[in-house]
A = this chain, B = another copy of it.
Amino acid sequence: MTLSHTILACLVNSPHSGYDLNKSFQESVGCFWQASQQQIYRELSKMEQKNWLTGEIVPQEGKPDKKLYHITDLGREELIRWLEEPTKMSPIREDLLVKLLAGYLLPREELIEKIERRKKVHQQQLKIYEQKQAEEFVNLTQLPKPKQFLYLTLLRGINIEKDWIDWCNQVLNLLKNDFNS
């Protein structure tokens, strides 16, 4: 159950509403942890019950009320306990690779198109990350700590995307030049 710990990590510095968290998960956190809105809200309720968080209802003008969640001492203790735990590797489950495993059942052009489409997706994502890097992380050493550590995760995102693009190129080369149809 690490979604709860990811949420704790987000709340350590500042309170967030479910809505805020959902946006974070789509933006910064999304490069290493994905969660849907429904998961987030359900998890927040559970965490409030466990007293890892307290919810504060904040009225707003012209907008519906929001519920700001603050981390409690218990929540912070739990986060630190978990941080110190040994870390397991996360499982990989990649549809595209399964399709490639059975790729000889598809017409060659169709397969190549699939890989090329995927390559484009990663190129786009890379662009987004690199833009962020250039905009938000200049003068890295002068930034506040939480921001510095966020940078390390962005770096991972950039590496992953570059790596995917490399692999796509390798595969496209093999499919086009070395594998006979």
Interface residues of A (CB under 8 A from B): 2, 5-6, 8-10, 12, 29, 31-34, 79-80, 83-84, 87-106, 110, 114, 118, 121, 140-141, 145-146, 148-150, 152-153, 155-156, 159-160, 162-163, 166-167, 170-171, 174, 178-180
CB distance from A165 to the nearest CB of B (A): 10
Closest partner residue, chain B, to A155 (CB atom): B170
Closest partner residue, chain B, to A33 (CB atom): B93
CB distance from A11 to the nearest CB of B (A): 10
In the complex, A122 Cα to B93 Cα: how many Å? 17
In the complex, A147 Cα to B105 Cα: how many Å? 13
Contact for A148 among B99, B105, B110, B179, CB less than 8 A: B179
Contact B159 A102 (CB under 8 A): no
A-B pairs with lowest CB-CB distance, top 8: A32-B97, A34-B91, A9-B102, A163-B163, A104-B145, A32-B94, A103-B149, A159-B167
CB distance from A3 to the nearest CB of B (A): 8
Contact for A87 among B102, B118, B153, B171, CB less than 8 A: B118
In the complex, A94 Cα to B7 Cα: how many Å? 14
CB distance from A20 to the nearest CB of B (A): 16
